[in-house]
Amino acid sequence: MTKLDRPAVPVTTTLDQPIEMRDGTILRADVHRPAAGGTHRTVLVRGPYGEQVFRSQPIGAFLHAGMAVVLQHCRGRGSSDGEFVPWENEGRDGADTVAWIAAQPWSNGEVVASGTSYLAGCALQLAAERPAGLRAVVASMTPHDFYEGLKYHGGAFAVGSAFHWGSLQGLLGVLHGVAGGRPPGDGFATLLRVLAEPDEALRTTPVRDMPGVSEMFPFWRDWTDHPERDGYWEGIAETLRHDRIDVPVLHTAGWFDVFLRGTLENFRRIPGGRLIIGPWSHLSQASGAGELNFGHAAAAATALLEPAQIEFLSGSTEGPKVRYFTMGANEWREAESWPPPGSTDTPYYLHADGTLSPGVPEAGASASAFVHDPDDPVPTHGGGLLLPDPVNVGPRDQRAIEERPDVLCFTTPVLSADVEVTGPVTAVLHAATSAPGADWTAKLVDVHPDGRAMSVTDGIVRSPGDRTRHEIDLAATSQTFLAGHRIRVEIASSNFPRFDRNPAMVRADHTVFCDAARASRVILPVRAS
């Protein structure tokens, strides 16, 4: 019979502990610490979603590791005073909170920060303030920039995820105001109606006028009124200066997370960190994502992700620099860098007959064409998403999408041997449009022997009508295309509602060139077997 050597940990908890910021605003936090006395390293988690999200934090595991825990509501959220402005105050407020913790009699002066998504952004932003006492950060699934990769991707507005998050913040703002004695206002009812039927709202043109969200979340129009990276975005970027972060960071990413590229960029830009990448989505770290299951080993619990994060926050420096899950082969790998050494960037060319191969197309005017109709955009079906529909995420069968006349497919012959693709994926498209501007999308697909066409990764770029060379960032993957499978690339001009429809909003002829002089291709980082 197993006997666990697990001592009891009596805990002292203080709810809604007031902590004063430098401008006099009071933020509140729940403080959990071992009741036995002594001083402790403290885990700080800051978030804008209220107490319910804090319930998912591993408080017990932190306490068993000998640390205290401070769960703090961002200003203007939960029980904290003030007004919530996305990203603006998180670095300063976080640094002030670190100073408060270090001054407490139960603190040993050492603080670590942890979080996922916006909470991870809070942790990185406070790290950029370089507060005395901060020792390490665990940052999971969070963007590296507030413009590129968060609100815009390749110049296209990420309307689906922006709507999802903006409407949530609108609701939280109403609840916070009601708690402070303010009436909800007429826009609250409009927002509830929009959330009940989001499809119609997502088609609003111009997108800045989306009902409910634009009324109840004032920053919506700031985002939509600044489609280029201008001074507005540069000002926000100053709150996350990677070059000022000098503590070790453990980054956690998911192959189907909306912020995959952001997490990889955070790892690249902040030296001395570690990286773990699993086949996970933004809201799930289970063994399966979308319509595929990658086996029990893929689950974060089986991979002992949480113990690895807690050991890192406790001060352990052991472990591989990079640990990543290779789909298809369905196994974990280790490396000393990302991307791991040993991959060769290999172009797979698009041919007008629908084939995809490493062979360069022949000379001559060879092209494929389709008609783009903005009133009938290609629907979002899987991918790294954070949409109101929680089911629409991860690898999904694309066959229904591929039957559309405005989706071009380019496919290899059946593979005679495994092809492992691990690293960044890029598409270079030579294409023209009759419209004043166009979006170009590319999707990498794994075609199974039974015909299922399972999405792997995708990307988009928004280009002016006179541009004919388009580079599309498909983020990255680690995918083994097994023998008997085929590799496919889909090309289209929309992916809605993940991205907004091109502002030109005109029916247009699109042409993709596939000749030697204009060789459209996807560049795959192929690893030698």
**Enzyme catalytic residues:** 117, 257, 282
Structure tokens at 278: 């699993």
63 φ, ψ (degrees, to nearest 5): -65, -40
Under 8 Å between Cβ of 63 and 6: no
User: How many CB atoms within 10 Å of residue 301?
Assistant: 12
d(CA 205, CA 209): 7
Round to whole Å and give the CA distance between 28 and 59: 17
Token pair 């990420």 is found at 158
Instruction: Give me the helices (H) in 45-132, please.
Output: 51-54, 59-64, 90-102, 118-128
Cα 269 to Cα 277: distance, rounded to the nearest angstrom: 17
Q: At a CB cut-off of 8 Å and minimum separation 6, what does 491 contact?
A: 350, 368, 407, 408, 410, 427, 429, 431, 440, 441, 442, 512, 520
Cα 365 versus chain centre, distance: 40
And the tokens for 329? Answer: 């082969």
Q: Where are the beta strands (DSSP E) in 7-106?
A: 11-20, 26-34, 40-47, 68-73
Contact residues for 311 (Cβ-Cβ < 8 A; gap 6+):
318, 319
Backbone angles phi, psi at 482, to 5 degrees: -75, 155
Cα separation, 515 vs 500, in Å, equals: 31
Residue 234 CA from chain centroid, whole number: 20
